[in-house]
A = this chain, B = another copy of it.
Amino acid sequence: MAVRVPKGYLVSGVHCGLKRDLRKPDLTLIVSEANAAGAGVYTQNLVCAAPVQLDRQRTPSDRIRVVVVNSGNANACTGERGLEDAREMARLAARAARVEEDQVLVMSTGVIGAYLPMDKIAHGIELAAARLGNDEEALILAARGMMTTDTVYKLAGRTISLTRREVQITGMVKGAAMMGPNLATMLGVVFTDAALDSQTAQRILREVVDDTFNCINVDGHMSTNDTVLLLANGASGGPPLSGGLLDEFTRELHELCGELARMIPADGEGATHLVIIEVEGCRSRDDALKIARSIANSPLVKAAVHGADPNWGRIISAAGYAGVAFDPACVELYINGHLLYRGGAPVDFDDAEVSASIRAEKDTHVKLIFSEGNASGRFWTTDLTPEYVRLNADYRT
């Protein structure tokens, strides 16, 4: 099975009272038996949570040993006390795993503006340390410990052979809303038994995140807590990857992160559709992504998908205000393979047929082909449903 705990790691997920439901894990521990290269990519929000501030100082690093995560409370907008709480959370995990405090990275997700209940956190870390394991059950509990409004846990993995060495890469993510441009609101940990030096780990994580987790959204609201961590402990043996082996590893990491990224809008709050927006024929990838993101951020486009309405006018007009120059008379627009617009004017299409195709499938494919160049980009988002609004009108109650 490709989804398993890589060599040299132990994981657990436990319930410590941060969530009301006793059956739901709310604290996750990932421990590497040896020093791991640790890299991180974080929210660009100026208002960032305490754990983000802490981890930013600690990555990249050559000697990460522990990641501790809690759900139910974001430890965001909590000022100095919040930062002290994040540090204390790291200290508690360090003590439990018998490592140094600065070898621990922290992630939190949940409600903004409430202080962490440190007694529960302390108890949770103790419990989690006692239940560390490397089997599938431990891995699933760890993934569940990160969940907030997610309806499913999100795990993926790859086993690859690099010059007869078997390398495992496994990732877990959480996220279902407050998903913005530039790192959707999410937490993610990818951990591998490959050997990487920390600068390389940081560089490839940055590249891969830009192309995967930064190409999804649910509601365009950038969170205070977005974090993706990469740990590489080298337990599969050998020197740090470089050259062709590093390229191969990076390709697999890219694929894995793409798979994990898509799981998030697919589980978007209240969503009934995963919308895949492909933009081709642009001058640059950046242009293509700007257009795709502008479409993905339009509530009118998203509501139309929910209503199975092939409303291409909303799509083309959202492209028009993306801030990218293009000739509106040289654009083709397809929904689920049906041509709806070409040459600046509508084409004759069977509205009912396209509508039925949207209704029939969970995935809706939107494709725009411009005539400006050869660059392309892809973005994943959700539809917008009355259920999303209901969920977010009383998230805290």
Contact = CB atoms under 8 A, between A and B. Distances in A.
B394 A307 contact: yes
A309 B396 contact: yes
A88 to B, nearest CB: 17
A221 B314 contact: yes
Interface range on chain A: under 10, 10 to 19, 20 to 34, or 35 or more? 35 or more
A78 B328 CA distance: 11
A385 B392 CA distance: 10
Copies of this chain, complex-wide, total 2
Contact of A317 (B223, B344, B384): B223
Interface string A339-364: 00101111000000000000000000
Contact of A309 (B81, B385, B394): B394
A170 to B, nearest CB: 30
Interface of A: 44-48, 74, 76-82, 111-114, 177-178, 180, 182, 219-224, 297-301, 303-304, 306-307, 309, 311-314, 316-321, 325-326, 328-329, 341, 343-346, 384-390, 392-397
Given A77-B346, A220-B298, A303-B388, 15 more contacts: A45-B320, A45-B321, A46-B328, A47-B319, A47-B328, A48-B320, A77-B341, A82-B345, A182-B321, A221-B298, A221-B299, A224-B320, A299-B389, A307-B397, A385-B389
12 contacts: A44-B321, A77-B316, A79-B344, A113-B312, A113-B345, A178-B300, A219-B298, A221-B314, A224-B317, A299-B299, A386-B386, A386-B390
